[in-house]
Amino acid sequence: MGSSEGMGASSKPANAPSQAPPLKQYGVTKPISMAGPTVADLKRTQNLEKFLADSGLYEGNEEASKRVEVLQRLEQIVKNWVKQLTRLKGYTDQMVQDANALIVTFGSYRLGVHGPGADLDTLCIGPSYVNRESDFFYTLHEILAGLDEVTELQPISDAHVPVMKFKFDGISIDLLYASISRLIVPEELDISDVSVLHNVDEPTVRSLNGCRVADQILKLVPNVEYFRTTLRCLKYWAKRRGLYSNVTGFLGGVNWALLVARVCQMYPNAVPSMLVSRFFRVYTQWRWPNPVMLCPIEENELGFSLWHPRKNPRDRTHLMPIITPAYPCMNSSYNVSTSTLRVMMEQFQHGNKICGDIDLNKSCWRALFEPYLFFEGYKNFLQIDIVAADVDDLRNWKGWVESRLRQLTLMIERDTFGKLQCHPYPREYIDPSRKCLHNAFFMGLQRKEGEVAQEGCQFDIRASVEEFRHSVNSYMFWKPGMDIHVSHIRRRQIPCYVFPDGLKRSRPSRSAAQLKKSPTSIHGNEVSPTEHGEKNFKRKHDDRGVRQNVSLKKHCVSPPVDSLTGGSPCLRAGDMSVHAISDCQDLKNVRSTRLSNCEQDQFDRRMSPESGTECASNSSGVTSVSSNGGSSPEDVGSALVGGFVEATTSGRFEDTTFMEDSVKLGNNTLSGRNNDVLQKELQAQLEPIAMSGMFLDAKGTFDNDTLQKTVIRRLSLTSTA
């Protein structure tokens, strides 16, 4: 039984830990609920913490001690580096003696939610006469390169936040640099003081703000330990569901931290199990692009650019604004695109459903963290293959290509007017059969839900892919051997190496009896067993009158190397495969998500068989795909990558990803007995938040008093109703 939140009476049991109401308000609005945990909530929290520990998310004492030693060693190196530069620049002996630099942490380590093997985000703070370009990226780089403990040294000087990546005694480190406007850096420097931002450039501000934002987050949450447990849980969930990647257009560590912190503010007395459930409940209903803010946006005489949609036209294009709480307040999630926002909203719906079942004791925490089956969620994919001559070149080349994948998504969205949706998967794969060093990225493709495929319709994304290829090949550190190849593959052509043990997951065919097995209710719209069975049985027989019936394929076969590379074992930058991309997706298609074992069995029973007819290979030339020529239903409708494709849409196709337990996008149905009350209460809170852009004073800043009064009035009306 879930907690009786918002019911007017206290649901806290006698043996629950006493929690006094918070002495101050957290956030820009009043809490949604002050309710504390029930006995069941406390038990679920214990189960959650045990699951996280059993999953290996907590760092051991030995590794924790090693991190401290590495930080101390790194700080000593940068102190000596600054003293050396001070002497070389001709300063006095006293200045050399007083010269100093600091190493401070940020990110997951500073927030206290890092796990085993996590990167260590660090910032070097140096004096004003030590610059980033020649001193940090050249002199310090040479010092680190000469150390035996340092491996995989990779400077990225042209990044939005310039960084030097390397491993120090096996610990992965991201090292930033900030030159503050002081001749001597004090040991007890307070980076939360806005004075550290005086007379510095914007890359320095962005570097410093990593630490400043982390400190502000910890100050703005009611209970730091509850926040940490909840954030550790949500980060693990995001990684399992393929959503943890800022570079590819999803969300990174700071984004998840800000989202979790806002939910903690809304439910200040909730324990982690409640906060996880409320997280999905809140963000399935959040009206993007209204911003998530932990505190009011403050202006300062320093004049740095702030996130301000009314003043900055570019800020109006942001789809999922998550605003940092430290000056200058900025949108930390500007990388999010229409397609990646859609994917995240689907996954929030999935998480909301599972948490509803957990609250009703119908499921367990393990079901929430089932990995997302990306390669079963789409029929069509772009495969981006990259190769390089050696390990260091591949690491640099791979990082560059991955950082440009977001641009490919934006280009396809732009050129197809948003009708072709992309899902870049934030994971790289390695083909062990390639003789050259190789990595591959994949991107799922599907027609936008609600877009009707018309006769002969097609998506031509040749220009998009070509533009992406030219963008990638403009890499200023390009070396011979760095090549890229983009090709279209269908689900049955997915290479073996992306699957565990190199085996493709079997997808058994369904019998008519299975189709008629059980009734389905989707959001109150009842579908009788007969109707449901007949509908899917009819789909299984396409207009060609041929029953699609194929044997199971446990092993998949990678396309021959020659078909991808034109006879060369390595890919060439200029290669573009000519292939049709099927764009005709079911209008009611809800991409499959792996739930509990029982639900996965239902999914297996409902998956349709694939056609046994092979599609055209990835070779140059003109490819024609027609529904009348015995092609797979996946071939109905098309898009162009590298050649002209002609297609028709006269054939029927199987709805291969529909599930009885699917959650329809956009529906905010909640699980539990108190859902009606909770949803009304939450909606009353979110509606004024969604209108927050209207409550601006003459200076263009948020008028929090007006916003608060609106919230109180809305909550009062809800209570009266």
Q: Distance of alpha carbon 246 from its chain centroid, rounded?
A: 6
Q: Is the peptide bond before 529 cis (omega within 30 degrees of 0)?
A: no
Number of neighbours of residue 97 by Cβ within 10 angstroms? 10
Concerning whether 692 is annotated as a catalytic residue, the answer is no
Q: Of the residues 4, 79, 121, 393, which is catalytic?
A: 121
Cα 658 to Cα 87, 632, 649, distances in angstroms: 69, 18, 20
Q: How far apart are CA 377 and CA 386, in angstroms?
A: 24
Instruction: Give me 521's structure tokens.
Output: 């209710």
**Which among 3, 4, 11, 108 is annotated as catalytic?**
108
Identify whether the C-beta of residue 668 lies closer than 8 Å to the C-beta of residue 284. yes
Catalytic residue among 91, 98, 119, 471: 119
Whether 424 and 401 have beta carbons less than 8 Å apart is answered as no
**Is residue 244 flagged as an active site residue?**
yes
Contact 658, 605 (CB under 8 A): no
Helix (H) or strand (E) holding 620: none
Does 54 participate in catalysis according to the annotation?
Answer: no
Phi, psi of 12 (to 5 degrees): -75, 125
Phi-psi region of 116 (alpha: psi -120 to 50; beta: other; left: phi over 0): beta
Cβ contact 488:580 at 8 Å: yes
Closest CA to 510 of 533, 491, 493: 533
Other Cβ atoms less than 10 A from the Cβ of 415: the count is 18
Helix/strand/coil for 628: coil
Q: Which two tokens stand for residue 387?
A: 């190769």
Neighbouring CB atoms inside 10 A of 617's CB total: 16
Q: Which one of 26, 177, 226, 244 is the catalytic residue?
A: 244
Contact by Cβ (8 Å): 643, 620: yes
DSSP label at residue 674: T
Question: Residue by residue, what is the 3-state secondary structure of 119-134?
Answer: CEEEEEEECCCCCHHH
Instruction: Out of 135, 174, 359, 575, pick the active-site residue.
Output: 174
Q: Which of 392, 375, 394 has its CA nearest to residue 570?
A: 394
327 labelled catalytic:
no
Active-site residue, from 165, 235, 504, 540: 235
Active site residue 121: yes
- Catalytic sites, residue numbers: 108, 119, 121, 174, 235, 244
